[in-house]
Amino acid sequence: MGFLLLSNNCIILRLHPIGRVESRGLIRRLSFGNYILLQPELLDAYASALINAAKDEPDGLGNIAEEVARHGQFRMSEDERIKDKSLEELLLIATVEELLCHELVIRESADDGTYLVFPSQFTRERPDAPNPEGQTVIFEFEGAVLNIYSTLAVRLTRSGLFIKQDLWKNAATYNAKAGGLCGMFLREVQEGKGELTLFFDKAANEQTRSQFESYILTHLGRRALTESITQRRILNCNECGATIPDQHVQMRKARGLDWISCSVCETHISLVERIQEEESIEAQASIITEMDQTADLQRNLDTATSSLQGKIATNDYDVFLCHNTADKPAVKIIGEQLKELGILPWLDEWELRPGLPWQRALEAQIENIKAAAVFIGKNDIGPWQDQEIAAFLRQFVRRECPVIPVLLLDCDQKPKLPIFLDGMMWVDFRESDPDPMRQLLWGITGEK
């Protein structure tokens, strides 16, 4: 079924393409290379080491270069390390993928490379913490406080409506597409209990405040202990902006009074909570759904990037791109799009080393590749493409390897396909519905 790779404290099972092992609790299937990790606690050990390395960043920016992370160039107990460097690098790719998938880290590109940013590991203090200006509401909650805060910071960054401006120790600010600056500050009251204070600048309109507050409350409802969530409004004077002490507000309410006077400008402020009428509950739910979908998509793309790195390191190709040489430019574009989605394609121009017999390399891939996409454009099928198709057909019969006809944009209206291809479901890039890239992914992975 497979073979074991042993390296000190690491035990990894690598399956042959026909091998099947279901992950059950104590084992973990990696997303690349047909590897089964029999000691998944190693992922936790390396994740902890990466998090500690980010926390030790000298400028307090809570990050680590992805290249440094992938090559294990950080401090970690030698007793916990895998001695085989090649296996360690595979495990580190899987570790980064896990952190991205669980939304504990943000992948950010910079001029000098890509960085992994951990919102929970910033050590530099925000100057106005813990009392930032423009506070409007405090949420109290119980649960895994730092985990809840980290995933919230990551999802807001990926949401599409809020663009991360800056991060500090337990604080984050975002520029809202609807206008203005908004932020949140976390205070750990005690173990398992936190307070999240939301604040806005004067440019933040009612739409920005409503969207930010609603999304955060929804996130807490999903991640924190629901019955522990409480909400406390912070009152600010509309005239001078002074914050009214919450103790004074509560004492006035206890006396049955519905207003309070600002101690600075003496303006009368209503204590009757205003109902936001700008947006209906349905509209808010729609916006939250849109933000969730955008955040999920970005998470999947980031995770796919790490999975692709693992596939490249293990030569774990997902699909062979069979094409006429004249159609190569169009096929390369589709190949690059597949890479962005975590699919590793085999394309002759990318994989064949100059100076070596290409037939031998081609035969080796045909025996192991998981699927084939046969591209057909206005140039029809090339002479070598015919032989490739025949070879894949034999593999398809033997091990049920999908062979997917793909019609390119410039394909004739009624393409003439070989008989065995003509009877298969094809993907048509000349049509927009159903989405051809989604259809191609379904054909390659088997996942709709």
**What is the reported pLDDT for 131?**
77
List pLDDT tens digits, range 164-192. Answer: 999 999 999 999 999 999 999 999 999 99
151 close to 104: Cβ distance less than 8 angstroms = yes
pLDDT at 25: 46
Specify the DSSP element, H or E, that contains 172: strand 171-176
User: What tens digit of pLDDT does each residue of 205-260 get?
Assistant: 988 998 999 999 999 999 999 999 998 887 777 777 777 777 787 788 788 888 88
Q: pLDDT band for position 67 (50/70/90)?
A: very high
How many DSSP H helices and E strands does the chain contain?
Answer: 13, 22
- The CATH topology of domain 125-233 is TATA-Binding Protein (3.30.310)
pLDDT of the residue at 13: 53
What is the residue-averaged pLDDT of the chain?
85
Q: Under a CB-based contact definition with an 8 Å cutoff, are residues 180 and 162 in contact? A: no
pLDDT in tens, 373-429: 989 888 777 666 667 677 776 777 677 788 898 999 988 776 776 666 667 788 999
Q: Give the pLDDT mean for 323-327.
A: 85
Give me the phi and psi of 379, to 5 degrees please.
-90, 5
Q: Are 147 and 223 in contact (CB under 8 A)?
A: yes
Asked if 219 and 231 count as a contact pair (C-beta separation under 8 A), the reply is: no
Task: Reply yes or no on whether the pLDDT at 30 is more than 80.
Answer: yes
Cβ neighbours of 153 (radius 10 Å): 26
pLDDT value, residue 382: 66
| Nearest-angstrom CA–CA distance, 138 and 148 | 15
Highest mean pLDDT among 73-82, 293-302, 359-368: 293-302
Question: What pLDDT sits at residue 7?
Answer: 42
- What pLDDT sits at residue 425? 83
**What whole-number distance in Å separates Cα of residue 206 and Cα of residue 212?**
10
Residues 346-355: what's their mean pLDDT? 80
Q: How confident is the model at residue 365 (pLDDT cuts 50, 70, 90)?
A: confident
The per-residue pLDDT for 258 is 82
Residue 216's nearest CA partner among 286, 128, 153 is: 153
CATH T-level assignment (fold) for domain 317-445:
Rossmann fold (3.40.50)
Question: Which has more pLDDT, 416 or 26?
Answer: 416
Q: What is the pLDDT of residues 270-305, one digit of tens each?
A: 777 543 433 445 568 889 999 999 999 999 999 999
Q: What is the distance between the alpha carbons of residues 228 and 189, in angstroms, rounded to a whole number?
A: 13
Note the pLDDT of residue 275: 39
pLDDT reading at 18 higher than 70: no
Structural domain boundaries of the chain?
Answer: 2-120, 125-233, 238-279, 317-445
Q: What is the mean pLDDT of residues 305-313?
A: 94
DSSP letter at 106 equals: E
Q: Which residue has the higher pLDDT, 289 or 83?
A: 289
